């Protein structure tokens, strides 16, 4: 997609998400500069990228003819922001979720990029208008929010500011597709974007079920893992209801009134604190002690890698049947 003379991208921030973005861009055979203020952090990021690419090669998630050893050579590091972004086609900011920090970083980026470079943020909850309004290049600014870990979960939320131009929006969507990701576009800014608004609704109702003594934390998790999650891993809520009746209109005629009644009983939201938090913490820590969290994250990533490979294989089979 991008011109061969300008296949350079810059990742600002070398934490967990920045490393994953570097891995994805390297797999798409971009030249990646990973920028951070800490040389030690950058060296640690290179080690992490080495392991990520190695895992993806073993899981069959690289592209035909690619090797982890060759792809990791595409990633370099720099603590010099201006040098890191010079000539970049695209910049992905991955700093902590602090509004003042986002404003500072984007102000610095605005001063050193040209009129072509796209400036994207990985923020999961801060709308772009809050940190781009006063920038010279604000029309080139956008949010591209990945889901953790993005090298296994392909969704990316594309959120424009009111002044983001159409070219920036289209370019970013096309770029995400080139990476092998699955972009979705919000038509306007909204608190929580799309995925978190869905996720938070589920978390809040799960909280109520425990707080009201209706179900245990373990059974609530099981309801999602062995129920909703089985379907939702390959089709969304709207397609689900379309298939669960004679189309979506039939479903809403049959069940719509009761759905409204149930949802009315769910309001208002509850504070995520107090005795219910203590109950959840005790339940989860008995299953996964805090000192075992990293081990469990590795288990999670292995499962996600296997699921990603399975979904890719199933999609390839479907595509072959259509030919």
Q: What percent of the chain has pLDDT over 70?
A: 98
So what's the pLDDT on residue 58? 94
Q: What is the pLDDT of residue 92?
A: 98
Say what the pLDDT of residue 107 is.
Answer: 98
Is 80 exceeded by the pLDDT of residue 52? Answer: yes
Q: Is residue 219 a contact partner of residue 210, using CB atoms and an 8 Å limit? A: no
185-222 pLDDT, tens digit each: 999 999 999 999 999 999 999 999 999 999 999 999 99
Tell me the C-alpha distance between 321 and 310, whole Å: 17
Tens-digit pLDDT profile for residues 87-144: 999 999 999 999 999 999 999 999 999 999 999 999 999 999 999 999 999 999 999 9
Mean model confidence pLDDT for the chain: 95
The confidence band for 3, taking pLDDT boundaries of 50, 70 and 90, is very low
Nearest to 95 by CA among 109, 82, 83: 109
The DSSP code for 290 is G
Using CA atoms, how far apart are residues 187 and 255, in angstroms rounded to an integer? 29
By CB neighbour count within 10 A (0-12 exposed, 13-18 middle, 19+ buried), where does 205 fall? middle
Region 238-253: what's the mean pLDDT? 98
The C-alpha atoms of residue 106 and residue 128 are separated, in whole angstroms, by 10
> Could you give the CA distance from residue 226 to residue 219 in angstroms, rounded to a whole number?
10
156 has a pLDDT exceeding 80: yes
Confidence of residue 318 (pLDDT cuts 50, 70, 90): confident
Mean pLDDT (whole number) for 34-61: 95
Cβ neighbours of residue 93 closer than 8 Å, sequence gap 6 or more? 12, 13, 102, 105, 106, 109, 119, 120, 121, 122, 123
pLDDT at 315: 86
Write the DSSP assignment of 241-274 as a string of letters. HHHTTTSHHHHHHHHHHHHHHHHHHH-S---S-T
Give counts: helices (H), strands (E), the chain. 14, 8
Residue closest to 21 by CA, chosen among 91, 99, 101, 87: 91
pLDDT of residue 163: 98
Of 33, 22, 37, 32, the C-alpha closest to 79 is 37
Q: Residues 45-71: what's their mean pLDDT?
A: 96
The per-residue pLDDT for 154 is: 96
């Amino acid at each position: 997609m991008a011109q061969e003379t300008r296949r350079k991208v810059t990742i600002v921030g070398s934490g967990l998400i920045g490393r994953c973005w570097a891995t994805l861009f390297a797999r798409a055979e971009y030249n990646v500069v990973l920028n951070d203020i800490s040389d030690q952090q950058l060296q640690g990021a290179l080690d992490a990228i080495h392991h990520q690419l190695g895992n993806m090669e073993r899981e069959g998630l690289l592209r035909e003819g690619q090797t982890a050893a060759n792809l990791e050579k595409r990633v370099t590091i720099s603590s010099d922001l201006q040098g890191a972004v010079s000539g970049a086609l695209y910049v992905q900011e991955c700093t902590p979720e602090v509004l003042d920090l986002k404003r500072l970083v984007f102000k610095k980026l605005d001063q050193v990029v040209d009129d072509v470079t796209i400036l994207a943020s990985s923020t999961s909850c801060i709308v772009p208008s809050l940190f781009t309004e006063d920038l010279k290049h604000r029309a080139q600014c956008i949010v591209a929010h990945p889901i953790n870990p993005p090298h296994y979960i392909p969704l990316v939320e594309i959120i424009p500011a009111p002044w983001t131009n159409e070219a920036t929006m289209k370019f970013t969507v096309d770029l995400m597709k080139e990476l092998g990701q699955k972009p979705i576009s919000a038509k306007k800014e909204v608190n929580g974007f799309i995925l978190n608004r869905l996720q938070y609704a589920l978390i809040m109702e799960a909280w109520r079920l425990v707080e009201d003594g209706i179900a245990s934390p373990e059974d609530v998790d099981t309801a999602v893992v062995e129920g909703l999650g089985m379907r939702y891993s390959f089709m969304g809520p709207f397609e689900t209801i379309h298939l669960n009746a004679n189309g979506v209109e039939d479903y809403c005629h049959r069940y719509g009134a009761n759905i409204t009644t149930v949802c009315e009983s769910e309001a208002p939201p509850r504070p995520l604190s107090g005795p219910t938090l203590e109950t959840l913490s005790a339940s989860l820590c008995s299953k996964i002690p805090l000192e075992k969290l990293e081990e469990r994250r590795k288990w999670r990533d292995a499962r996600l890698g296997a699921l990603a490979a399975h979904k890719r294989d199933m999609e390839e089979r479907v595509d072959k049947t259509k030919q």
